[in-house]
């Protein structure tokens, strides 16, 4: 070891191979520490001496450069954070559907792109690049950033990042075109014909038809009907102990009750919409739905659009938005008011009908009388 005569604590270690490595030695508390600055060659003596002065200045201000480097080297990666986030936060605080969505975003996008980085090293530029690379699918790009935002907030709570350093801040989201598709009266009729014709041919079970009928007649979400149990059903309501928005009490109209009443039950199975398994519910309603909508000429209609259709019919028939909010199980009125323009359309049609009737009456009266002339 050769020590510098000008900078106390700065030295060079010479190895038997001839390789030389610059280092700085200092005291932190009662411990003597050494910090390697770099090898001679890539680093000149003057550069190493300047770097040593900087590190000794850090020590004078109370820092411990050697310990900081050690902690950074041993710091968990984003991949480790993802695993802990899913196990300790999402699994404990989120619903199964949310867990599945978070897992997909993390497994498909976050881990492959950022998993090898240390948590504290992720920058806004890293997140912006990931987001940009997903611009072809703007909805999913925005959801991935949302998941990352939550994850890095939790990382701050766990002390894995400095507070206020969430790298997803100020990432401008892509504009999302909201999908609103409602079935017209004619389309509803076509859907009904296809459902019951397919049932008669044996293309799908009565439980599949019942599921889609219940979605239309109650405005429920897919999972609420898919996992519906007989214990949740009363003569007038569906009493769901848990849903996307918590406990729900959904009105059960007579038409929906008739659908339920016609379904056979299976001993030992608590579910309403039965599949092939003896003790489970029907798992994949998307598969029969693709066949049904193709036959009905409704290729652009999603299962969730049946819920939109329920809401649209409710609004156009004068259901109050506050009442509809409770029926639909929306968290806030803003979501319900997305359908408000449909009420405007209904009012416009009604006003037009009244005006047409009055105009017709006036024209009829004028045809029956001589033409009026203005005498000057």
Say whether pLDDT at 182 is over 80.
Answer: yes
| Over residues 192-216, mean pLDDT | 93
Least confident stretch, 8-22, 119-133, 198-212: 8-22
Alpha-carbon distance of 221 to 97, in angstroms, equals 12
Question: CA 88 to CA 74: how far, in whole Å?
Answer: 21
Q: Percent of the chain at pLDDT above 70?
A: 90
Lowest mean pLDDT among 194-198, 234-238, 276-280, 351-355: 351-355
Q: Which residue has the tokens 């439980």?
A: 207
Which among 185, 192, 198, 110 has a CA at the least distance from the CA of 151? 110
Q: 243-250, long-range: CB within 8 Å, 24+ apart, which pairs? A: 243/329, 244/95, 244/97, 244/329, 245/329, 245/330, 245/331, 248/224, 248/329, 250/218, 250/219, 250/220, 250/224, 250/327, 250/329
Choose between 287 and 339: higher pLDDT: 287
Quick one: pLDDT at residue 367? 54
Q: How far apart are CA 327 and CA 220, in angstroms?
A: 9
327 confidence band (pLDDT: 50, 70, 90): confident
Would you state the pLDDT for residue 369?
A: 52
- % of the chain beyond a pLDDT of 90: 45
Question: Does 335 have pLDDT greater than 50?
Answer: yes
Neighbouring-strand partners of residue 303? none
Decide if pLDDT at 70 tops 80: no
Q: Residue 181 above 50 pLDDT?
A: yes
Q: What is the pTM of this model?
A: 0.60
Classify 105 as helix, strand or coil.
helix
Give yes or no for residue 228 having a pLDDT over 60: yes
From 171-175, 255-259, 269-273, 346-350, the region with the lowest mean pLDDT:
346-350
Average pLDDT, the chain: 86
Buried b (16+ CB within 10 A) or exposed e, 162-179: eeeebbbeebeebeeeee
Predicted confidence at residue 320, as pLDDT, reads 79
The answer to whether residue 168 scores a pLDDT higher than 80 is yes
Check whether 78 has a pLDDT greater than 90: yes
pLDDT at 133: 95
Q: Is the pLDDT of residue 350 over 60?
A: yes
- Cβ-Cβ contacts under 8 Å for 98 (sequence gap 6 or more): 90
Model confidence over 236-270: pLDDT tens digits?
999 988 777 778 888 898 999 999 999 999 999 99
pLDDT(64) > 90: no
- The mean per-residue pLDDT over the stretch 103-121 comes to 94
Residue 372 binned pLDDT confidence (cut-offs 50, 70, 90): very low
Q: What's the confidence (pLDDT) of residue 213?
A: 94
CATH class assigned to 185-339: mainly alpha
Q: How far apart are CA 325 and CA 302, in angstroms?
A: 22
CATH code linked to domain 78-157 = 1.10.150
- CATH, domain range 2-74: 3.30.160.390
- The residues spanned by each domain of the chain are 2-74, 78-157, 185-339
Note the pLDDT of residue 341.
Answer: 63
Q: What is the pLDDT of residue 342?
A: 65
For residues 165 and 144, give the distance between their C-alpha atoms in angstroms, rounded to a whole number. Answer: 18
């Amino acid at each position: 070891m050769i020590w510098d005569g000008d900078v106390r604590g700065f030295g060079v270690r010479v190895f038997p191979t001839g390789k030389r490595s610059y280092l700085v030695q200092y005291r932190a508390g009662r411990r003597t520490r050494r910090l390697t600055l770099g090898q001679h060659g890539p680093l000149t003596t003057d550069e190493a001496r300047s770097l040593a002065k900087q590190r000794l200045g850090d020590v004078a201000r109370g820092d411990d450069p050697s310990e900081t480097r050690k902690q950074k080297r041993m710091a968990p990666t984003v991949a480790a954070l993802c695993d802990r986030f899913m196990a300790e936060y999402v699994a404990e605080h989120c619903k199964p559907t949310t867990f599945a969505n978070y897992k997909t975003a993390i497994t498909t996008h976050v881990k492959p792109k950022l998993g090898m980085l240390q948590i504290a090293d992720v920058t806004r530029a890293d997140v912006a690049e990931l987001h940009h690379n997903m611009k072809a699918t703007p909805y999913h790009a925005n959801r991935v950033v949302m998941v990352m935002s939550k994850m890095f907030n939790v990382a701050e709570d766990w002390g894995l990042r400095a507070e206020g350093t969430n790298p997803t801040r100020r990432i401008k989201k892509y504009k999302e075109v909201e999908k609103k598709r409602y079935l017209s009266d004619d389309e509803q009729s076509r859907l009904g014909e296809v459902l019951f014709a397919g049932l008669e041919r044996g293309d799908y079970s009565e439980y599949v038809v019942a599921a889609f009928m219940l979605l239309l007649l109650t405005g429920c979400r897919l999972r609420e009907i898919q996992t519906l149990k007989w214990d949740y059903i009363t003569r007038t309501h569906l009493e769901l102990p848990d849903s996307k928005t918590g406990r729900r009490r959904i009105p059960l109209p007579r038409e929906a009750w008739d659908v339920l009443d016609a379904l056979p039950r299976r001993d030992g199975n608590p579910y309403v919409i039965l599949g092939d398994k003896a003790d489970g519910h029907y798992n994949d309603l998307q598969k029969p739905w693709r066949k049904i909508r193709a036959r009905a000429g409704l290729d652009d209609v999603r299962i969730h659009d049946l819920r939109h259709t329920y809401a649209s019919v409710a609004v156009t028939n004068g259901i109050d938005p506050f009442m509809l909010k409770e029926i639909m199980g929306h968290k806030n009125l803003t979501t319900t008011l997305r359908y408000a323009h449909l009420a405007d359309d209904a009012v416009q049609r009604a006003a037009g009908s009244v005006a047409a009737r009055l105009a017709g009456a006036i024209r009829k009266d004028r045809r029956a009388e001589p033409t009026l002339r203005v005498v000057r």
